[in-house]
Amino acid sequence: MKNKKIKTELKSKLPVAQKALRLSKNRWDAALMFLLLISFTGIAKAQTEVLTLQQAIERARENYPAIKAAQLEVDRQKALKVTAVDLGTTSVCTGKEEVGNGEPGINNRIGINQNEIDLLGIASKSKLAKKRTASAESGLGLTEASIVRNVRNAWYKAVFAKEQWMLYKQLDTVYTNFKKSAELRYKTQQTSKIEYLSATTRYQEMMISIKTAESDYRAALEMLNQYLMMKTAFDVKTDVQAGELFSVTQVEDSLAGSPELGYYSSLIDVSKAEWKTEQAVFLPKFDAGYINQSVDGTKGFHAWQVGISVPLLFFSQSGKAKASKINYEIATKQFEQKAAEVNAQYRQLLARYLILKDVIDYYNVNALPFADEQIEASNIAYRLGSVDYVQFIQNIESAIRIKQEYLVKRNEYLNLSAQLKYLTGR
pLDDT tens digits, residue range 59-89? 999 888 999 999 998 888 888 887 777 776 7
Q: What is the pLDDT of residue 33?
A: 44
Sheet strands (E) in 203-247: 234-236
Question: Which of 272, 327, 334 lies closest to 132, judged by CA?
Answer: 272
Going by pLDDT thresholds of 50, 70 and 90, the confidence category of residue 185 is low
Q: What is the pLDDT of residue 51?
A: 83
Mean pLDDT for the stretch of residues 40-54: 62
As separate numbers, helices (DSSP H) first and strands (DSSP E) second, the chain gives: 9, 6
Highest mean pLDDT among 40-44, 262-266, 306-310: 262-266
Highest mean pLDDT among 35-39, 121-125, 219-223, 289-293: 219-223
Question: Is the Cα dihedral 25, 27, 29, 35 positive or negative?
Answer: negative
Lowest mean pLDDT among 1-5, 356-360, 396-400: 1-5
- H or E stretch at 114: strand 106-117
- For the chain, give every domain's residue range: 1-47, 48-83+122-283+318-424
Whether 24 shows a pLDDT value over 70: the answer reads no
pTM of the model: 0.75
Whether 25 shows a pLDDT value over 50: the answer reads no
For residue 149, the Cα-to-chain-centroid distance in whole angstroms is 7
For residues 181 and 199, give the distance between their C-alpha atoms in angstroms, rounded to a whole number. 9
Q: Percent helix, strand, coil in the chain (nearest 5)? A: 75, 10, 15
Whether 251 shows a pLDDT value over 60: the answer reads no
Q: What is the pLDDT of residue 234?
A: 85
**pLDDT tens for residues 335-360?**
999 889 998 999 899 999 999 999 99
Whether 196 shows a pLDDT value over 60: the answer reads yes
* Alpha-carbon distance values, 271 to 128, 321, 322, 328, 393 (Å): 9, 11, 12, 5, 67
Higher pLDDT, residue 301 or 21: 301
Residue 426 CB partners (closer than 8 Å, separation 6+): 246, 247, 257, 420
**pLDDT tens for residues 107-148?**
777 778 777 766 667 777 788 888 888 889 889 999 999 999
φ, ψ dihedrals at 80, nearest 5°: -80, -5
For residues 96 and 107, give the distance between their C-alpha atoms in angstroms, rounded to a whole number. 4
Asked if residues 321 and 377 have their Cβ atoms less than 8 Å apart, the reply is: no
φ, ψ dihedrals at 93, nearest 5°: -145, 165
Going by pLDDT thresholds of 50, 70 and 90, the confidence category of residue 47 is low
Q: What is the pLDDT of residue 102?
A: 64
Question: Is the Cα dihedral 298, 299, 300, 302 positive or negative?
Answer: positive
For residues 339 and 356, give the distance between their C-alpha atoms in angstroms, rounded to a whole number. 25
For residues 297 and 107, give the distance between their C-alpha atoms in angstroms, rounded to a whole number. 8
CA angle (137 as vertex; 136, 142 as ends), nearest 5 = 95
For residues 69 and 91, give the distance between their C-alpha atoms in angstroms, rounded to a whole number. 39
For residue 263, the Cα-to-chain-centroid distance in whole angstroms is 18
Residue 206 CB partners (closer than 8 Å, separation 6+): 168, 171, 172, 175
CA angle (265 as vertex; 264, 270 as ends), nearest 5 = 95
Q: What is the pLDDT of residue 359?
A: 93
For residues 116 and 361, give the distance between their C-alpha atoms in angstroms, rounded to a whole number. 71
Starting at the edge strand that comes first in sequence, how are the strands of the sheet with 285-295 ordered? 89-97, 106-117, 285-295, 298-309
Highest mean pLDDT among 43-57, 271-285, 309-323: 271-285
Going by pLDDT thresholds of 50, 70 and 90, the confidence category of residue 6 is very low
φ, ψ dihedrals at 262, nearest 5°: -65, -40
What is the Cα Rg of the chain in Å?
Answer: 41
Q: Which CATH superfamily is domain 48-83+122-283+318-424 in?
A: Outer membrane efflux proteins (OEP) (1.20.1600.10)
Q: What secondary structure letter does DSSP report for 84? A: G
For residues 130 and 119, give the distance between their C-alpha atoms in angstroms, rounded to a whole number. 18
Question: Which of 172, 178, 168, 174 lies closest to 212, judged by CA?
Answer: 168
Highest mean pLDDT among 96-100, 196-200, 317-321: 317-321
Asked if residues 58 and 241 have their Cβ atoms less than 8 Å apart, the reply is: no
Asked if residues 413 and 360 have their Cβ atoms less than 8 Å apart, the reply is: yes
**pLDDT tens for residues 281-326?**
777 777 777 777 777 666 777 777 777 777 766 666 777 788 888 8
